[in-house]
């Protein structure tokens, strides 16, 4: 089995992911749905060993042998780059390839909210892009960095696991650090990035307390920090950050976070009626009211203020979903599935 041939088929079919595992034929994810590749036999353990060897080097194979799981990049010249995840299941190798185009998309190409262009030009503060795994957070980050690179002269340092989109310097200086190859940890990379004269620091994933602490300190000291977080909405993102700290630290962290937060963009991916995917966003901005609610431990009131904050540029996810339904971009059934508050969505659709 030649993996590159499957990857070429994947790109030709417009798939986002390729799944390879024992006892199943190769499977593509197209517009969010898993589809078997017709005419191919189920893969054996020998097929999977061969596939892994085709796309990995000796160092990666050694690391996989120790950890039994691995994230790493893979490129096919003239085709695309891929983020690969390898793990063991029932004693055999399983692989997933996620496509990453060579060229970072623009904010306009993705149809992202216009406010993304303003946020990435902020001189300092903390911006969070949140959502479930596979919701397109990395692509949103890449589009925002692309806009910054074309607009302002800034020194940008990214820490990623692994590096996905590759950037060439335009107006910005962009240094991309790969977890594992270039640095041992997010927190260590952040600490050293602060000594590298950065204007903007991009964190692929804010996954632990040391990383979050250093990120908030960097935002406090005059840097723009952008990171991703796994959460369903803005209020949950705020609570998740605060809950990382011990009880005795939490009030101080609420104050600190309220001072540095500029925005939380929470996104979900949806299937268009005409095919393809589109992201819908909840947008929370660091207004004076939002900052006060964070300080006073009233995150349960954040959603209500987002819903009435349209003049400032805010919107709830249900407002965004209702707009996409009204414009005929997505089906109502698709919106209701993705909504965390279907009754609110119904209200907006009837208004």
CB 117 within 8 A of CB 285: no
For the record, the structure tokens of 281 come out as 């966003």
With a CB cutoff of 8 Å and minimum separation 6, the contacts of 181 are none
The closest of 309, 320, 315 to 345, measured between CA atoms, is 320
Confidence of residue 265 (pLDDT cuts 50, 70, 90): very high
pLDDT for the residue 246:
95
Strand partners, 28: 18, 35
Strand partners, 173: 155
As a whole number, mean pLDDT of residues 11-38 equals 95
Write out the H or E segment, with its range, that includes residue 72: strand 69-76
pLDDT for the residue 22:
97
Q: What is the pLDDT of residues 284-298, one digit of tens each?
A: 999 999 999 999 999
pLDDT for the residue 101:
84
Confidence of residue 266 (pLDDT cuts 50, 70, 90): very high
Q: What is the pLDDT of residues 233-260, one digit of tens each?
A: 999 999 999 999 999 999 999 999 999 9
The closest of 154, 144, 4, 134 to 80, measured between CA atoms, is 4
| pLDDT of residue 95 exceeding 80 | yes
Q: How many CB atoms lie within 10 A of CB 339?
A: 21
pLDDT for the residue 1:
73
> How far apart are alpha carbons 156 and 242 in whole angstroms?
27
- Dihedral sign (CA 91, 163, 181, 55): positive
With a CB cutoff of 8 Å and minimum separation 6, the contacts of 143 are 104, 105, 106, 107, 109, 110, 112, 116
Phi-psi region of 161 (alpha: psi -120 to 50; beta: other; left: phi over 0): beta
pLDDT for the residue 154:
98
As a whole number, mean pLDDT of residues 8-23 equals 96
Exposure on the CB side of residue 119, measured as CA atoms within 13 A? 30
| pLDDT of residue 303 exceeding 90 | yes
- Domains of the chain by range and CATH? 3-100 (3.30.450.90), 107-315 (3.40.50.300)
Question: Which residue in this structure is represented by tokens 């089995």?
Answer: 1
For residue 239, the Cα-to-chain-centroid distance in whole angstroms is 19
Three-class DSSP category at 35: strand
Q: What is the pTM of this model?
A: 0.89
For the record, the structure tokens of 184 come out as 């041992």
pLDDT for the residue 180:
81
Rounded to the nearest integer, the mean pLDDT of the chain is 95
């Amino acid at each position: 089995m030649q993996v590159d041939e499957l990857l070429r088929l994947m790109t030709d079919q417009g798939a986002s992911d390729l799944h390879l595992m024992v006892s199943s034929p190769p499977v593509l994810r197209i517009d969010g749905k898993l589809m078997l590749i017709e005419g191919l036999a189920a893969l054996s353990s020998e097929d999977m060993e061969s596939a892994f060897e085709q796309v990995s080097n000796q160092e990666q194979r050694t690391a996989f042998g120790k950890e039994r799981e691995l994230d790493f990049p893979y490129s096919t010249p003239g085709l695309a780059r891929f983020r690969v995840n390898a793990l063991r299941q029932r004693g055999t190798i399983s692989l997933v390839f996620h496509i990453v185009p060579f060229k970072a998309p623009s904010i306009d190409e993705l149809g992202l909210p216009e406010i993304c262009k303003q946020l990435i030009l902020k001189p300092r503060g903390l911006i969070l892009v949140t959502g479930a795994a596979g919701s397109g957070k990395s692509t949103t980050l890449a589009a925002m960095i692309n806009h910054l690179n074309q607009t302002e002269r800034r020194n940008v340092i990214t820490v990623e696991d692994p590096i996905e989109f590759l950037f060439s310097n335009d107006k910005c200086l962009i240094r991309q650090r790969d977890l594992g190859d270039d640095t041992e940890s997010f927190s260590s990379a952040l600490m050293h990035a602060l000594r590298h004269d950065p204007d903007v620091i991009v964190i692929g994933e804010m996954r632990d307390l040391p990383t979050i602490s250093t990120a908030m300190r960097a935002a406090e000291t005059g840097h723009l920090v952008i990171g991703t977080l796994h959460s369903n909405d803005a209020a949950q993102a705020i609570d998740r950050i605060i809950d990382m700290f011990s009880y005795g630290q939490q009030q101080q962290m609420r104050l600190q976070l309220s001072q540095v937060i500029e925005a939380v963009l929470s996104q979900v991916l949806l299937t268009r009626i005409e095919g393809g995917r589109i992201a819908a966003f909840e947008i929370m901005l660091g207004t004076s009211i939002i900052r006060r609610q964070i300080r006073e431990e009233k995150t349960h009131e954040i959603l209500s203020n987002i819903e009435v904050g349209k003049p400032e540029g805010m919107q709830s996810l249900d407002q965004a979903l209702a707009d996409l339904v009204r414009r005929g971009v997505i089906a109502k059934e698709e919106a209701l599935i993705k909504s965390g508050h279907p009754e609110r969505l119904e209200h907006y659709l009837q208004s």
